[in-house]
Chains A and B, each alone.
Chain A
Amino acid sequence: MNTPRVFTVLERRPDTHDTVTLTIGPSDGQPLPGFTPGQFNMLYSFGAGEVPISFSGMPSLPDTYTHTLRVMGKATAALAALSPGDQLGVRGPFGRGWPMAELRGKHVVVVAGGLGLAPLQPVLEALAAQPEHYAGSQLFYGGRRPQELLYTERLAAWAEQFEVQLSVDQADANWQGHIGVITQLLASSRLSTDNTVALVCGPEIMMRFTVQALQQRGLADSAIYLSMERNMHCAIGHCGHCQWGPNFVCKDGPVFCFADIAPWFFRRAV
């Protein structure tokens, strides 16, 4: 788990001005370990460093991994500069993902903010592919501006299967969607609270307001899951950097049931 495995970039697709999606496959051609949506890999760009990036592709594609990453520093810039044929190092999969088995038969409410849509994409694909397995699905997706929303083609495709509500902070008069905050849409939408599970991923402030909005709508803490971000280095709970209260975000998370982390979620500087 300490030494990366060599992968090759198969496809590179820019999503927005600062975000790119890479599809990668193992250079040795050997089988890949499976993963659960919500888990992550550590991606290493030669000499530039290593960063944790969630899986954003489908677990049913056994030969490749797909990762959407945003350019934020040296390592992500180097990864985003890779072209098809270039190699990188990969460690993983790590952590705990979304409770996929528990979603069966439930009404699934997905709330994503910004880049937080990436780890939820495989969940949404699963919801859209087999709607009969779920009592219903809704997506609430908030972003900065319309041109910074991820996966716009997929958003349109999902909207044919279930309710998709988009919200941006800023837009011009051509934008037909919501302008404001995602919690407004949550507050005013039809939301069943029985037999419902909510999956939340986005900036921590957005998740705080979202959890409060979901609680106000009557969702139990045990029905809310969210994905946390902390400083993950080793990814196996040995280096201590991602500690958050009693949790190691890298191995106990990044996906947590809110009921388990409620005492820590609103506490500052832990």
Chain B
Amino acid sequence: MKWFGKKKNKEIDNTALESVTKGLLVFAHPTTVISVEEILKDEGYSIRVVSPPPSYRTGCDLSVEFPLEFEAEISALLNSVGMTPLDVVPITSKGMEPLHFVRKKEFNGQYLMIRAANMKMTVDKISGKIVNISGGGCPDVPYMATEMIGQRLTDVLSPGEVGYSLCAYSLNTSYEELVKELGA
């Protein structure tokens, strides 16, 4: 999705100054970050999804690291699409990035299970339906299971749209990999 005309060369060249030229966009829910990440990457900004600094951590958080010199225009862009961050803070150290590795396992040639971090999603390759969701510990996991099991992978809202938490973020990674494997 393109929200505005694509802009180029937004990275800062002087890496020696990197520690004082980055900022963090802090949001209420980790899955809001999925949408923000898509918008800002589409606009050509060099960003990373990372853990917030300790003072902002509750145990289930995600934020967006961005080049601080673009703070004004990024804030304006996010305000215009109703995704105003809770806070914008300068940072001096790098946050940790969420895990994007996945593991795949087939059962009887019919079912494909993909796990990202602690979250597993399993699809019946014949019907294209999600048959199970397993793992996780945040409250939206049982909710996502209720909403998604029995639905076709192609018809269902993604975990990024249904959930709120870091477990939803990881389940979204599993979901995206399943879509890639089995086709949208």
Do A and B come from the same complex? Answer: no
